Chains A and B, each alone.
Chain A
Amino acid sequence: MTSSRLHTVALVLSLLVLPACLEDGPAKIAWNDEPRALDDGWEIGAPEDHGFDREKLREAFRPFFSEDELVPAISLLVIRDGVLVAEGYARDLGDVHRKNAIMSATKSVTSLVAGIAIDRGLLDPERPLRELLPAQVAGLDERKTRITLPDLLTMRSGLDFSNDDFSMAMAHEVKGDGLRYILERPLGAEPGTRFAYQDCDPHLVSGAIQAATGKTLAAFADETLLGPLGIRDRRWLAHGDGVTYGPYGLYLKPRDFAKLGLLALRGGRWGDRQLVSPSWMLASTTSRVFPSDPVSLTGLGYGFYWWVRPEARAFFAWGHGGQYLYVVPEDDLLVVLTAEPDTNIDGGDIWPEAFFGLADRVVDSLR
């Protein structure tokens, strides 16, 4: 029996000790906020040479490296006067070379590409869906055939297709023509009357761009936007029918993501080329609707797939998790944040109110 007692003691000790065995590691790495010189077209500069108080800017980075704040954050870039003055990576320095899902910030890229197609006369914003996507609306409720491009660009198609269902349904259940499937959804409101943030609308815009240009959204973007910006290492997911996802699905490296923000800050100009017309940039970054649900979005405006923050005279692209291109034209300032899209693991998404705290500190660090 002595033997069994020994076993019992061993058992109890093991049960007490073993549950603590696996290490609970840190979420973030050591502080780093100085941009590295890479051969990627970005000019690197010192913050104080571009109007920043270095210590205040450093303080702005504090929550980015905190274990308890902005937990999903991956990268934070600050660009002023077109110069990269601060750049931090919270999880891995190698993330500078890693493509990350920009999630719904993809919508803002879709808007840029739609603007290019319109600028080039390939896409007419006044034409309704019965002319933009005739095959997909054939035989459907006549009201759906009257949906316009501005309705889609402001999330007012009226179609009832919740984002809670859209992405997984499109990925796994919808076979064949995804655009037709979307348009067969019931109308929850008259087109053009009600804002509902739904992924189905920008996906229809992608379909319209494909129909108008003869190229997928991704291919047309490569040719007219991403290529001229020097963005060649990207991934853009497509539905099974070949139509590029318009609402999400674009994967970019942080610095390439920032190039899109700088383009927007420059009113569509990149170097000596006007890639997107100033009129489209102005139109798409001007508030057209004012979402009130959820309450935390109250006070924000929405243009053509760009969010607007009137109180800060800023506009921004925003993707789930914490993907932001935050543009402050008056200060010639761009703040870029990327984050893990699997955010529940970190206790939650970086919503605008949390991001604004960071962005405002960056703005306040300007002398």
Chain B
Amino acid sequence: MIARILLSFACLALAWPVQASSSDDDRPNRIGFGLGVPHVQIREELTRRFRWDGFGGLLALGYEHRGAGMRHAASLELPAAWVTNRYDAGGAALALRLDYTLLVPVAELAGGRLWAGGRYRWDHALQYFADWDEEHLYWLSAHELGPAVAWELAVAPTQSLRASLSLPVVALASRPPAERTNKIDDLKSVGFLLGRPHEDMSLTSLHEYVSVEGAVAWTWSFSETWLLQASWVMRYRRHAAPLAVQLLENALVTGVAHDF
């Protein structure tokens, strides 16, 4: 486990020495706001071996510092979806994602620039499947750390494409216990929704927890400081304990950003 932590920091360290050949020094800061439509799939074996899926909405807020030799980005995402299974049972899938990414340029690649670095993310996914007499919350909450890469390509003077990938290698993750008594979850309490999943965090890695995110984004600068962005993001997460859960999300997100 410690070796994996060291490996992730080694990835970051290897990325440091390479410097960028150009910069965004004039307006290095970017804030953005986006709305999206996620399609969420869940297979939570603590309930059944069924697939649940459905569409929802997503709110995204972001900040990025675009320095010549380094980029820092922080974002907040709040997706929510109504998912159903083959028996037309419904449930809510909510999440809170907060992340910080640090990237440095490492190479020119295929006409674009390759950035590499690391990312920390808190991904707090909650699922609630309603019932008249029995209510339980299910969750996969994780504080992830791992390498991230991005490749950017200018496709026109005002347009660019960006593809990114991240693969956390170590995480503090939490899952519900395998056996819970009825009437135990205080679902009306926001404190419960945020706090309970943090009670049983344990250090984990790829043997138990897999998380991968890929994204493709298109950006169009429609004025000197304003940009329009559209992206597709795919996220997959799996935790093996105490029984397997898998979450797969595909989201189309569009929004505006402002450079300053």
Query: A residues touching B (Cβ–Cβ < 8 Å)?
Result: 1, 3-4, 7, 10-11, 14-15, 18-19, 21-27, 71, 101, 103, 163-164, 167-168, 170-172, 235, 237, 248-249, 251, 320-321, 341-349
- Contact present for A168 and B155 (CB under 8 Å): no
Chain B proximity of A249: nearest CB distance (Å): 8
Alpha-carbon separation in the docked complex, A344 to B156 (Å) = 53
Query: B residues touching A (Cβ–Cβ < 8 Å)?
Result: 39, 41-43, 47-51, 53, 85-91, 110-111, 129-136, 153, 155-156, 161, 163, 181-184, 186, 188-189, 216, 218, 232, 234, 246, 248, 250, 252
- Contact present for A26 and B49 (CB under 8 Å): yes
- Contact present for A344 and B155 (CB under 8 Å): no
Alpha-carbon separation in the docked complex, A345 to B90 (Å) = 7
A-B contact pairs, 28 of them (CB 8 A): A14-B232, A14-B234, A18-B234, A19-B41, A19-B250, A21-B248, A22-B43, A23-B49, A24-B86, A25-B43, A25-B48, A71-B87, A101-B182, A103-B182, A164-B132, A167-B182, A171-B186, A237-B181, A237-B182, A237-B183, A249-B182, A342-B136, A345-B48, A345-B50, A345-B91, A345-B129, A345-B131, A346-B87
Given contacts A14-B250, A23-B51, A101-B182, contact A342 B131 (CB under 8 A): yes
- Contact present for A22 and B51 (CB under 8 Å): yes
- Which of B90, B110, B181, B182 is most buried by chain A, counting CB atoms within 10 A of its CB? B182
- Partner among A7, A163, A172 whose Cβ is within 8 Å of the Cβ of B186: A172
Alpha-carbon separation in the docked complex, A15 to B110 (Å) = 25
- Contact present for A103 and B246 (CB under 8 Å): no
* CB neighbours of A347 from chain B (8 A): 87-89
- Contact present for A320 and B184 (CB under 8 Å): no
- Which of A22, A101, A237, A341 is most buried by chain B, counting CB atoms within 10 A of its CB? A22
* CB neighbours of A10 from chain B (8 A): 216
Given contacts A3-B111, A3-B161, A341-B182, contact A167 B250 (CB under 8 A): no
* CB neighbours of A27 from chain B (8 A): 48-50
- Partner among A11, A19, A24, A248 whose Cβ is within 8 Å of the Cβ of B182: A248
Given contacts A14-B250, A171-B183, A341-B182, contact A346 B48 (CB under 8 A): yes
- Contact present for B250 and A18 (CB under 8 Å): yes
Residue of B nearest to A11 (CB): B232
Alpha-carbon separation in the docked complex, A101 to B248 (Å) = 31
* CB neighbours of A172 from chain B (8 A): 186, 188-189
Residue of B nearest to A319 (CB): B133
Alpha-carbon separation in the docked complex, A171 to B85 (Å) = 29
* CB neighbours of A1 from chain B (8 A): 155-156
Chain B proximity of A187: nearest CB distance (Å): 24
- Contact present for B216 and A25 (CB under 8 Å): no
- Contact present for A342 and B161 (CB under 8 Å): no
- Contact present for B89 and A345 (CB under 8 Å): yes
* CB neighbours of A237 from chain B (8 A): 181-183
- Contact present for A343 and B153 (CB under 8 Å): no
- Contact present for B135 and A168 (CB under 8 Å): yes
Chain A proximity of B164: nearest CB distance (Å): 12
Given contacts A3-B111, A24-B51, A344-B89, contact A19 B39 (CB under 8 A): yes
- Contact present for A345 and B87 (CB under 8 Å): yes
- Which of A237, A249, A346 is most buried by chain B, counting CB atoms within 10 A of its CB? A346
Residue of A nearest to B91 (CB): A345
Alpha-carbon separation in the docked complex, A256 to B27 (Å) = 72
A-B pairs, top 8 by smallest CB distance, nearest first, are: A25-B49, A347-B87, A24-B51, A171-B183, A344-B131, A22-B41, A172-B186, A341-B134
Alpha-carbon separation in the docked complex, A110 to B129 (Å) = 30
Given contacts A3-B153, A11-B216, A19-B53, contact A101 B186 (CB under 8 A): no
- Contact present for B182 and A7 (CB under 8 Å): no
Alpha-carbon separation in the docked complex, A345 to B51 (Å) = 11
- Contact present for A4 and B129 (CB under 8 Å): no
* CB neighbours of B39 from chain A (8 A): 19
Alpha-carbon separation in the docked complex, A235 to B110 (Å) = 64
Chain B proximity of A341: nearest CB distance (Å): 5
- Contact present for B183 and A25 (CB under 8 Å): no
Alpha-carbon separation in the docked complex, A151 to B43 (Å) = 46
* CB neighbours of A25 from chain B (8 A): 43, 48-51
* CB neighbours of B155 from chain A (8 A): 1, 3-4
- Contact present for B161 and A4 (CB under 8 Å): yes
* CB neighbours of B132 from chain A (8 A): 164, 320, 344, 349
Chain B proximity of A16: nearest CB distance (Å): 10
Residue of B nearest to A19 (CB): B39
- Contact present for A168 and B183 (CB under 8 Å): yes
Alpha-carbon separation in the docked complex, A11 to B230 (Å) = 12
Alpha-carbon separation in the docked complex, A321 to B183 (Å) = 14
Given contacts A18-B250, A27-B49, contact A345 B85 (CB under 8 A): yes
Chain A proximity of B50: nearest CB distance (Å): 6
- Which of B47, B50, B133, B252 is most buried by chain A, counting CB atoms within 10 A of its CB? B133
Given contacts A344-B132, A346-B48, contact A7 B216 (CB under 8 A): yes
Alpha-carbon separation in the docked complex, A345 to B182 (Å) = 15
Alpha-carbon separation in the docked complex, A249 to B183 (Å) = 9
Alpha-carbon separation in the docked complex, A342 to B47 (Å) = 8
- Partner among A3, A14, A15, A24 whose Cβ is within 8 Å of the Cβ of B50: A24
* CB neighbours of A168 from chain B (8 A): 135, 183, 188
> Apart from A4-B161, A23-B43, A170-B183, what 14 extra A-B contacts exist at CB < 8 Å?
A24-B85, A25-B51, A26-B49, A101-B181, A103-B182, A168-B135, A249-B182, A320-B132, A342-B134, A342-B136, A344-B132, A345-B47, A346-B89, A347-B88
- Contact present for A7 and B87 (CB under 8 Å): no
* CB neighbours of A101 from chain B (8 A): 134, 181-182
